Amino acid sequence: MTSTAIQKQKDIRLLSPEQIKEALVSLGEKPFRAKQIYEWLWKKSARSFDEMTNLSVALREQLKEHFCIRPVAVANQQISSDRTIKSAFRLHDTHLVEGVLIPADDRMTACVSSQVGCSLTCKFCATGYMDRKRNLDASEIYDQVVAIRDMAEQNYSTPLTNIVYMGMGEPLLNYANVLKSIEHITSPEGLGMSPKRITVSTAGIAKMIKKLADDDVKFNLALSLHAANDVKRNQIMPINESNTLEALAEALQYFYQKTKNKITFEYIVFYNFNDTLQDAEELYRFTKKVPSMVNIIEYNPIKEADFINTEEDRLDKFSNYLRNKGVNVHVRRSRGKDIDAACGQLANRNKEEATA
């Protein structure tokens, strides 16, 4: 097949069931085949038309002529001493994104990326120092989940239990594809996972949080907060200048009123920046604005920034202050630090190995 012909092929995973049906009819095929093809694509995660064994060879050849499937490939993989697995996924246009399998006693979590790079320039996050190249298609997000699910079963004989959209990129700046990927992951015609097992994390884009509410989403929402006053948050998260804490609080209240889903606040504790009892009091006050819980996260140093993780005694005082105020607090210990797979560290650092 010539390169011109390949370029004319449509990515079949961009089509709806109705569009696939119309395409089949135009090729002289029976409409009911569309349902079979859709099931192969999203329930059975087929990576090629040849896998679709209940279709005739002639139909499979026709599909290959007119359409393509562009699966994500694992380009490189690293396994941490704590069993965390980080993967570099190569996309059809050679870009790389990273995803992580995080095993724990009570869960097996996939952390997936939604963009190639990021445009938000958060000062503590390695991805924030990369340029945003493009959004991922829904199928590219879905493929990360499938690959990480298979890793969980192959390496640890354990099914995937949770998915977090906390990898590279800002999910709410790739809104349509993120929601479409979740539809494929949760639908009975797809992977059939519960939306309650999925968490989408945002740096805080008020109008898009309200849109989530209007769209009546069923998954969980997490806000990367990291400071509960505007002066400090502006310093580390420039997005706060246009999405202030007041605006975010209003959006989160709207989200809760519509969905009745509690919000998770993520709070990285930086030494001598946001780890005092005054910071804890400000965080407590912010948690009162909406039903919520707080994940306190260890900071994972990156070469681009001078921040360091707070000391253990300061962390204990900070978290105990919140607990004594009645806040639902969890201290999350970092996983995969030795392979740059921990929170805030994803930046394609294994790109060299992946392209070697």
φ, ψ at 103 (rounded to 5°): -85, 140
Q: Count of CB atoms within 10 A of residue 205's CB? A: 22
Alpha-carbon distance values, 67 to 14, 64, 71, 189, 345 (Å)? 10, 5, 13, 21, 37
Token pair listed for 240 = 């706060």
* CA–CA distance, 86 with 334 (Å, rounded to integer): 14
Residues 6+ apart with CB under 8 A from 219: 182, 186, 195, 196, 198, 199, 200
Sole residue written with tokens 């569009």: 19
* CA–CA distance, 43 with 39 (Å, rounded to integer): 5
User: Which regions of 43-136 does DSSP assign to beta strands (E)?
Assistant: 67-68, 73-79, 85-90, 96-103, 108-111, 115-116, 134-135
Contact 331, 150 (CB under 8 A): no
* CA–CA distance, 96 with 216 (Å, rounded to integer): 32
* CA–CA distance, 106 with 325 (Å, rounded to integer): 28
* CA–CA distance, 274 with 229 (Å, rounded to integer): 10
The catalytic site residues sit at 98, 343
